[in-house]
Structure 1
Amino acid sequence: MHLDTTQLMALAAALGWASGLRLYAVVFLTGLAGWLGWVQLPAGLQVLQSPVLLAVSGALVLVEFLADKIPWVDSAWDTVHTAIRIPAGAALAYGVFGGDEATWGAVAALLGGSLAATAHAAKAATRAAVNTSPEPFSNIGLSLLGDAFVPSMLWLSVHQSLWFFALLAVGVVVMVAAIVLLSRFLRGLVGRVRAAAAGASGTAVP
């Protein structure tokens, strides 16, 4: 399947956005689609079809799948990947155009990096807030939702680009709102914990 300009722009946005949620799944699924001949990947992304990279990214998909289901381990995983997902999202988006169009590649990199940062921040804030709940089911449910949402959006970017852009716009608005609201919640929670600790320390002193 050969991609037109609209599909390429949608793919660049999808790769950047999805990298903020499931980087290794993005690398694996994109490479697998190219290796199987489902999609003719742009020259800048054809390295993802390498059997070695497919094997490594596939193994990391499994590791991330498991880590993302364990409360607090998921937050630690997100913290470590703050320095990985955002530049990787920008690099993948750049790869859509970088092999042929340097200007479009730069635009795609900025778009991909911004979307990756937004998605990563929203995911990290949401999971940190959910981890304050003692029950594990909401954590696992959100993780499974992400597992399903990422390949769905990648598929839409190629096969239904206009629908993808519409859903992406809604998703970005929701994510920005979540970042703002949950950041306030987490700051308030930290403040209450510190106040309680200070109070307990003060009562313990004669």
Structure 2
Amino acid sequence: MDTLESIVIGIALSAACGFRIFVPPLVMSLVAIYGHLALSSGFEWMGTYPALYAFGIATAIEIAAYYIPWVDNLLDTVATPTAIAFGTWVAAALFPNTDPLLKWTMAVIAGGGSAGIIQALTSFTRLSSTALTVGFGNSIVATIESVGAFVLSGLAIFVPLLAISLVLGLLLFSLNKKFQIRAIKRQSQ
């Protein structure tokens, strides 16, 4: 795997952490076990069966928790900083072994940043769903997010250019929404 491909896969998987924190590490572990993903030095442990089992259990608990009313909104409070941390960690696991300062700086900015932006978008969507449907629509949002995490993770590994295009589209959509909200606030003042 070449350097650019590793970076693209790392950023796309990091963005998927914004949907569900444990899905990208689960997919990475599974694919690494079968030899289709090269992990950076120090992250080889992710390609082991104990790691796969741990990520699988964590993923199942995380997905189930988002179907419990009001717990899902509480989880978003914890998930935002955690998604940024996991996004950074996932990116670092795939970025090439270069200068550690460069590697971790890129991981924080690109990986943590993309995970944080996607997580903020999903939190806003869930908050809107809670306000509009009194929480009854949140299970639909949770399902879409879970499917999105698995699809984006799979695309990141097998079709990285499509995955990074989707991530860029989501980031642009998120920024557009942010500017629309600011414009509405200015008009109301």
Deviation per CA, 1:16-70: give whole Å up to 9, x if none. Answer: 2111221111111111111122333333432212333222221111111111123
| Amino acid paired to 1:152 | V
Q: Which has the larger radius of gyration?
A: 1
Does the Cα contact within 8 Å between 1:19 and 1:116 map onto a contact in 2? yes
Partners of 2:2 and 2:64 in 1: CA distance: 36
Matched, 1:20 2:15: no
Identity of matched residues, %: 22
Out of 145-154 and 131-140, give the one that drifted further: 131-140
Q: Which runs of 5+ in 1 are unaligned?
A: 188-206
The number of equivalent residue pairs is 184
- Corresponding residue for 1:194? none
TM-score, normalised to structure 2, is: 0.83
- Corresponding residue for 1:88? 86
SS of equivalent residue, structure 1 residue 106: helix
Matched, 1:45 2:43: yes
Partners of 2:181 and 2:70 in 1: CA distance: 16
Deviation per CA, 1:124-165: give whole Å up to 9, x if none. Answer: 111011012336563222222222222222222233222222
Between the two structures, name the one with larger relative contact order (CA 8 Å, sep ≥ 6): 2
Partners of 2:146 and 2:47 in 1: CA distance: 21
- Corresponding residue for 1:114? 113
- Corresponding residue for 2:140? 141
How far residue 115 of structure 1 moved from its aligned partner, in angstroms, is: 0.6
Q: Which runs of 5+ in 2 are unaligned?
A: none
Partners of 1:184 and 1:78 in 2: CA distance: 26
How far residue 122 of structure 1 moved from its aligned partner, in angstroms, is: 0.9
Partners of 1:127 and 1:36 in 2: CA distance: 35
Partners of 1:74 and 1:118 in 2: CA distance: 18
Counterpart pick for 1:70 among 32, 47, 68: 68
| Amino acid paired to 1:164 | A
How far residue 98 of structure 1 moved from its aligned partner, in angstroms, is: 5.8
- Corresponding residue for 1:199? none
How far residue 111 of structure 1 moved from its aligned partner, in angstroms, is: 0.6
How far residue 74 of structure 1 moved from its aligned partner, in angstroms, is: 0.8
Residues 70 and 133 of structure 1: CA distance in aligned 2, closer, same or farther (over 3 Å): farther
Partners of 1:55 and 1:184 in 2: CA distance: 47
Does the Cα contact within 8 Å between 1:6 and 1:161 map onto a contact in 2? no
Does the Cα contact within 8 Å between 2:14 and 2:24 map onto a contact in 1? no
How far residue 170 of structure 1 moved from its aligned partner, in angstroms, is: 0.9
TM-score, normalised to structure 1, is: 0.77
Residues 57 and 161 of structure 1: CA distance in aligned 2, closer, same or farther (over 3 Å): closer
Partners of 1:152 and 1:124 in 2: CA distance: 19
- Corresponding residue for 2:152? 153
